[in-house]
Chain A
Amino acid sequence: MQAAQTRDIPVLEFPKLTALKTERWLVGVHLIVAFSALSLGLLMGPFQAFRRAPALQWDIPIFSYYYQALTLHGVLNALVFTTFFIVGFSYFVTQRTLQRPLASIRVAWAAFVIMLVGLVLAAFAIVTGQANVLYTFYPPMVAHPTFYLGLTLVIVASWMAGGDIFFTYAAWKRDHKGETVPLAVYATLTNFIMWITATIGVAVEVLFLMLPLSLGLVQTTDPQVARIMFWFFGHPLVYFWLLPAYTAWYTMMPKQNGVRLFSDGLGRVAFLMIMLFSIPIGVHHLFTDPGVSEVAKLFHALLTFVVALPSLLTAFNIAATLEWAGRKRGATGLVGWVFKQQWGNPVMAGMITGMLIFIIGGLTGIMNASFTLNLALHNTTWVPGHFHTTLAGGVFLTYMGIFYWLMPFLSGRKLFAPRLATAQVYLWFIGMLTFGLAMGRAGIEGAPRRTDAGAAAYISEAAVPWLNLTAVAGVILLISSILLYIVILGTLFASKKQEKADAEPPIDTKAPADDPSPSIFENWRVWMVVIVISNLVMWGPVLIQALDFTKGFIIFGFHPNAPIPLK
């Protein structure tokens, strides 16, 4: 404890200028790729809404084939943008928090290059129309091999990144025997442990089922088994997106408000619980699958309710911290602190609107998870309605909040037109609330998701006004997206150099000395054992039931454009 206090190094001293330069470039290029990929993926979104609105039914520009556009939108936004952003952000958090460079900067660059090659390969397949299989690529539908190869490379590279972060932590630990790791890095570690465990499922699926089928090395597969492997990965995937946002709420937001986090320990509990419980619940995505037993579905539903708890803990912890911040600024009464937040600052506005919309995302998520209620919602537009309030809402807005201080910090330039950035945030918030509401209602009226409604042979009359409302939301979101890119380009090319003083990133470099957490929290061996056992119990029987031990794999592959088996 004593040692921790004397080791209090001011943030600005780190690291030496040379290191700072590589750090800037390393994190910077991840963000550049992330936002370049996003620009195309994002453009598709509003036009999908216009296409689906009965009042418009416009063709989508450039990618007029609806499912090609939707594949691009899903892959670029949900897989590519997120992964690049998260890896870059995690490097930054690790280095700044631990006050040391990554264990191996070479590995980090190698991972970046591999990830970029993966992105190019996958994008090639999609853009040339050879991978109209959506971002979940369920077999027996088959895409061009480069699509699977590209995704594999992205995953492998993310493992390298996670390993690099872990070795950095291990080196820090050797130099700081007995010290508790700061919360931001604790969160990053739980995120990558969860991610690496979960991606084993999809890696096995892609390498052993999809790639061989796509290359013609084998002719048959098993779609139910593949879906099980995919969703072993699929639910942790959504937490992989979420945890960096939680990291910002827990460890940056307090500092940006000049207060400390309400409870560091319960923050750790939240991250730990998510790491443990996000994988053995994935069957909640398979509630309507014929090859998974109802009993397994019930158990996974139960644990899904357990994993809601850390998010409820987070709600309290963050709200209490914001209350402190408000009171520190002179708020009085029961709710006065709400009005004393930095509502006009794009960084805080991004995070707080993210938290607000995430409440809706969380509640609709609990509805999805509610077992029999899922029968009314599964695969209707309700589902994209839900995850545009979580991923494209809470997570994305928080990422914007991060981005609006990280980009100026990395580029050494002032944020261009901060008012525009604030407007971007609020337009996005309103747009996504509208979009979520409209998609949700249309879904309850029976509108199926992933459907080119503009060309469909049928339409549910009751869903028409709501689908039209999604187009209104699309306009708002399109404007917001344009503002985002104006701010980005403005900052990079038309903005003044920044004074060093306001360049300090909101990073906490040590765990609170006055409220230590139990050391078991950092005993990764124990948690690995828990993860392995719980998943063997929760997933083992599901997989064994789905495997056909007498006939093996018997289902032929198909291209999405013809009902002819690929023999």
Chain B
Amino acid sequence: MHIDKFERYWIVAASLMLGAFFAALIASTIVFGVHLPDPAGRINPADVEDWTNQGFATPGLRDMGDNHYEAHIVAQMWLYNTGDVVDGVPTVRVPQGAVVTFNVASKDVTHGFYIEYHNVNIMVIPGQISRATVTFNRPGTYRIVCHEYCGNGHHNMNAQVIVEPSA
């Protein structure tokens, strides 16, 4: 099998390019600390005790001190229960600079959990706990949307994060 000289150069160049891309994505994780979701435990939505023990019976935000927060959110057809509502929209209210760990669980079908402009993008699959940690540096209101089709009312399923400016 004959391989042309230029084709050989091309193969080397293409491999180097792909290698560089892969190095960049490893750097994004190791150097910049951006992570993909990792298993955070199982939950049985039909088992009330399990549901309660894992903190989903009372959704809401918990202050863990030192600027860290833990949020438990229930996703269900077709709304989020965040334990707080502002102007009819389920809300998570945090101060600027807060580091928030979201724990999301589904009561029924598969949902999505996406916070605009914040690298939070995770599937909410019944039976699994979805966990993502993010820092809110800029004050403002950021929409949370369900971005996985979950039935008739899917397009109405949204919530918001309100980041209040620190005084």
Contacts and interface: CB of A to CB of B under 8 A. Distances in A.
Contact of A288 (B28, B34, B37, B116): B37
A541 interface: no
A379 interface: yes
Nearest to B157: A457
A562 B112 CA distance: 18
A374 B108 contact: no
Given A265-B2, A558-B77, A558-B108, A222 B127 contact: yes
Contacts of B135: none
Nearest to B47: A554
B158 interface: yes
Interface in A200-223: 222-223
A458 B145 contact: yes
B13 to A, nearest CB: 9
A546 to B, nearest CB: 9
B130 interface: yes
B93 interface: no
Contacts of A379: 112, 114, 121, 147-148
B133 interface: no
Contacts of B38: 293-294
Contacts of A450: 147-149, 154
B91 to A, nearest CB: 13
B110 A372 contact: no
A100 interface: no
A290 B36 contact: no
A491 B141 CA distance: 57
Interface centre among B47, B78, B116, B119 (most CB of A within 10 A): B116
A290 B3 contact: no
A449 B147 contact: yes
Interface in A259-289: 262-263, 265-266, 287-289
Contacts of B119: 372, 375-376
Interface stretch (B18-26, B52-60, B62-70): B18-26
A536 interface: no
Interface in A440-491: 446, 448-453, 455-458, 460
Contacts, number: 210
A134 interface: yes
Interface stretch (A346-354, A393-401, A512-520): A512-520
A141 interface: yes
A294 B127 CA distance: 18
Interface stretch (A12-20, A30-38, A115-123, A301-309): A301-309
Contacts of A371: 25, 28-29, 36
Interface residues of A, number: 75
Chain B interface category by residue count: 35 or more
Interface string B8-50: 0011001100110110111011000011111110101111000
A254 to B, nearest CB: 15
A528 B12 CA distance: 28
Interface string B111-143: 010101101111111111111000000000001
Nearest to A448: B147
A223 B147 contact: no
Contact of A290 (B25, B123, B149, B158): B123
Contact of A565 (B21, B44, B108, B122): B108
Nearest to B15: A309
Contact of B1 (A134, A374, A515): A515
Interface string A169-205: 0000000000000000000000000000000000000
B82 interface: no
B36 A288 contact: yes
A224 B128 contact: yes
A306 B18 CA distance: 8
A560 interface: yes
Contacts of A103: none
B166 interface: no
Interface string B68-80: 0000000011100
21 contacts: A138-B110, A265-B2, A289-B123, A290-B129, A292-B39, A312-B11, A312-B14, A312-B18, A313-B11, A371-B25, A373-B28, A379-B147, A446-B114, A448-B146, A457-B158, A518-B1, A548-B42, A554-B46, A555-B127, A562-B77, A563-B151
Interface of A: 66-67, 134, 138, 140-141, 222-224, 227, 262-263, 265-266, 287-294, 297-298, 301-302, 305-306, 308-309, 312-313, 316-317, 320, 366, 370-376, 378-380, 446, 448-453, 455-458, 460, 515-518, 545, 548, 551, 554-556, 558-563, 565
The 7 closest A-B pairs by CB, nearest first: A265-B1, A448-B147, A563-B77, A560-B151, A446-B116, A456-B155, A379-B147
Given A140-B109, A302-B22, A309-B14, 7 more contacts: A263-B4, A287-B37, A375-B120, A446-B145, A448-B114, A458-B145, A560-B152
